[in-house]
Amino acid sequence: EDRNMAVVTCSAPVNIAVIKYWGKRDEEAILPINSSLSVTLHQDQLKTTTTVAVSRDFKEDRIWLNGTEDNITHPRLQTCLREIRRLARKRRNSGDENCNTFPTVSYKVHICSANNFPTAAGLASSAAGYACLVYALAKLYGLEGELSEIARQGSGSACRSMYGGFVQWVMGEKTDGSDSIAQQIKPESHWPELRVLILVVSAERKPVGSTTGMQTSVKTSPLLKHRAEKIVPERMKEMTEAIQCRDFESFAQITMKESNQFHATCLDTFPPIFYLNNISRRIINLVHKYNSHHGETRVAYTFDAGPNAVIYTLHQHVEEFVEVVKHFFPPEENGGHIRYGRPRYPPPPL
Ligand code: PMV
């Protein structure tokens, strides 16, 4: 064993919220104004792969994102590094026998992280990224237990990617954020028929990032305040029930209403924020027409901070719905409006 160097590689999938997080009550600690709920995708879908290495020979902390060196001084990145190192020191000093004493916490770290999908296009890249980083560092130092609190401080939605399946992020009440954590409601195996499709409308970086977008919304949107206080608490209960009973009809309807209300609060923000484009809106119409044609809710859409559609459906409807999408958005004619098949970036070699 090389006692001078330690390396860990991990992958974390993205999560797609069905009850949306939008707005912080504390910018520094990343505490939300409402609870949220998401589905973590499968490991072989959209994911981040991160390698962390510590060595006696490294002179400074460094990070590479998708192959290019990035700024290690990013405040949220620094927070995650600091918190993990603090936990590692604490456990070591407590004399816990099950705790690794190697690697030494004072060694500098090199981080290498890559997504197998477009970064910052509103496909929750930061969620998978920070979850993966925190998890990999925890493995490196042999840490266990509640880590979603640290991932949350990288990117709010990242705390939900620390668990698989159906996950809630409880907003919490405390000012130190210790009760603002992610919890698994049900594992992925609870609902094996559920499927997720991603319709990549645009792989470009989003015009307004979630951090600034949320700040402006919290400051200016009365609808957001109403939603956080009066609407979300009820929907959290309904959605949890729908998941527990595998009631797709309710699950799908709440999901679509949540997406629409989130984008309504963006429009209610001043100046307004537009994440949806004409293709997004055509997809919304298509889903509603498809469902009413069948006289039941077979498909649901949801959109985050970008124009790309995420579709929830059940396995028996996937084939037909994909055919319908292909019919209305023919791959040859749409100039690449929607791409099919493999993700854009090959995953990095391990
Ligand atoms: O974690 P952030 O800061 O990237 O915010 C994510 C916000 C949404 O994706 C729009 C909603 C959500 O709950 O994931």
The β-bridge relationship of strands 182-186 and 165-169 is antiparallel
3-state secondary structure of 316: helix
Terminus-to-terminus CA distance in the chain, angstroms? 20
Give distance in angstroms: CA of 87 to centre of ligand 1.
26
- Spatial contact of 257 and 234, defined as CB atoms under 8 Å apart: no
pLDDT of residue 116: 86
Q: How confident is the model at residue 347 (pLDDT cuts 50, 70, 90)?
A: very low
- Taking the whole predicted model, whether its pTM rises above 0.95 is answered as no
Q: Which two tokens stand for residue 77?
A: 């990145």
What angle do helix axes 248-268 and 232-244 make, rounded to 10 degrees?
Answer: 150
State whether the beta carbon of 297 lies less than 6 angstroms from ligand 1: no
pLDDT of residue 340: 47
Residue bearing the CA closest to ligand 1, atom 6: 157
How far does Cα 326 stand from its chain's mean position?
27
Residue 67: pLDDT over 50: yes
Hey, which of 18, 19, 22 would you mutate to test ligand 1's pocket, going by the most ligand atoms within 8 Å of its Cβ?
A: 22
State whether the beta carbon of 305 lies less than 6 angstroms from ligand 1: yes
- Spatial contact of 39 and 121, defined as CB atoms under 8 Å apart: no
Q: Give the mean pLDDT of the chain.
A: 91
The DSSP secondary-structure symbol of 157 reads G
Which residue from 46, 17, 47 is spatially nearest to 32, judged by alpha carbons?
17
What would the pLDDT profile of 195-207 be if each residue is shown by its tens digit?
999 898 877 766 8
Q: What is the DSSP code string of 187-201?
A: -GGG-TTEEEEEEBS
